[in-house]
Amino acid sequence: MKNIAVAGTGYVGLVTGTCFANLGNKITCIDISEEKIAMLKRGETPIYEPGLSELIQRNVKAGRLHFTTSYDEALADADFVFICVGTPSGVDGEADLRYVRMAAETIAEKMDHPLIVVNKSTVPVGTGDWVADIISRKQPTPIDFAVVSCPEFLKEGSAIADFMAADRVVLGSLNADAAEKVARLHLPLRAPILVTDLRTAEMIKYASNAFLATRISFINEIATICEKLGADVSEVAAGMGYDKRIGPHFLNAGLGYGGSCFPKDVKALEHMALVQGSHPSLLRAVMEINRDARRWAVITLRNLLGGKLEDKRIGLLGLAFKPNTDDLREAPAMEIGHLLQNEGAQVSGYDPVAMVHAGKMNPRLRLAEDPYELAQGVDALLVVTEWDEFKHLDMRRIKEGMAQPILVDGRNIYDPEQMAALGFTYRAVGRGNGANGYNE
């Protein structure tokens, strides 16, 4: 058993700390937010992540998981301290490292014995060296330490499984002994472990997310072409996915990527490239196509509703950026909702778990109790998030409640022939736009 301090109780920090506790380690999670720590001590979880609340309670009860606002308390017996704080986008797309700096400075000031500092936050290439320099300069008296980069590869909605059944563990350090000790922490996961230098480890994280975002934008570009030519992008993606060199993942055409990782990481990588004199044309195209995916929804609704959206009632089916999370950061629904409201539309929405956050983010958004209430009297419905429950709705009942049977499927979750048979005016992403006869 190792004693581990985890700085930050967001998605990465809570999942990392809780999963390491579940592996038998003693974990103390630190956060500067007294409100979040108070919630966690009451047994409440500040984020929605399937299975996380139950896992936290189990490990708290077992005495392996603790929460505090005190670095003194967390670092007292720690062998490792993981930095898992947020790195939001700055004004020019660069990663904002203020919270990483605060964590590094506080660790330097409070540590009283040798520590291995593990940076798990997504940070620009070179941050590991920067963190080491901060700690060296801010220590009241010199104490041995090492910095190891250990980027996270967690997907919201499946974060626990992603940690416990990791595809790989990436470690970067200039200190081989420290890297080996962090590797041992991960041995129970039985995942491949890649040990490299600090900067390469940091780059692996950005390159991975940028590549996945590129796949999403690529299939959305193909979807646009499919609409013009009368092809079905769903079948195109399936045909591509059987090729072992390509694979089926992240080839679902829709309203683009969102969340806390892809948007800011692609922006940050573009910014790093520009600062170094490179020309990240592909990254720029990925971001532009992602913006166009949201505009496609607005343009499609406008065209179906007679050329203008003023006073039209539109329902958004799904608000979170993806299923199984309540995260609204860079969520397509929130951007589309604002665009529709700016054109005079009356916008309502429903989501299984993100309603409270959505109401705070957009007070003008009317919130419905369920999908059937959402459909009552609307001129059009837009599917924004592919929650499983939406795939099993009584679509006949949905249609009967609508003022106009216009259904825009931004995630291609419905069968075009079935929707046409029910009498919907149905549009989907890249499925021929009427050329195959299904959408008219």
| Interval 369-415: pLDDT, tens | 999 999 999 999 999 999 999 999 999 999 999 999 999 999 999 99
| Res 365: pLDDT | 97
Neighbour tally for 354: CB within 10 Å: 25
Rounded percentage of the chain residues whose pLDDT exceeds 90: 96
**Which of these is catalytic: 19, 29, 150, 261?**
261
Contact 331, 321 (CB under 8 A): yes
Q: Higher-confidence residue: 30 or 439?
A: 30
435, pLDDT greater than 60: no
| Res 93: pLDDT | 86
Domains 3-196 and 210-428 share a fold: yes
Read off the DSSP letter of residue 95. Answer: B
| Interval 245-270: pLDDT, tens | 999 999 999 999 999 899 999 999 99
Torsions phi, psi for 173 (to 5 deg): -165, 155
Task: Let me know if 19 is a catalytic residue.
Answer: no
Give the residue extent of every domain in the chain.
3-196, 210-428
Q: How confident is the model at residue 433 (pLDDT cuts 50, 70, 90)?
A: low
pTM score of the predicted model: 0.93
436, pLDDT greater than 80: no
| Interval 181-222: pLDDT, tens | 999 999 999 999 999 999 999 999 999 999 999 999 999 999
* Fold of the 3-196 domain: Rossmann fold (3.40.50)
| Res 437: pLDDT | 40
Alpha-carbon dihedral 49, 50, 54, 56, rounded to 10 degrees: -30
| Interval 53-112: pLDDT, tens | 999 999 999 999 999 999 999 999 999 999 999 998 888 888 899 999 999 999 999 999
**For range 125-147, the mean pLDDT:** 97
* Fold of the 210-428 domain: Rossmann fold (3.40.50)
Q: What share of the chain is helix, strand, coil (3-state, %, to 5)?
A: 45, 15, 40
Read off the DSSP letter of residue 295. Answer: H
Structure tokens, 248: 């089926």
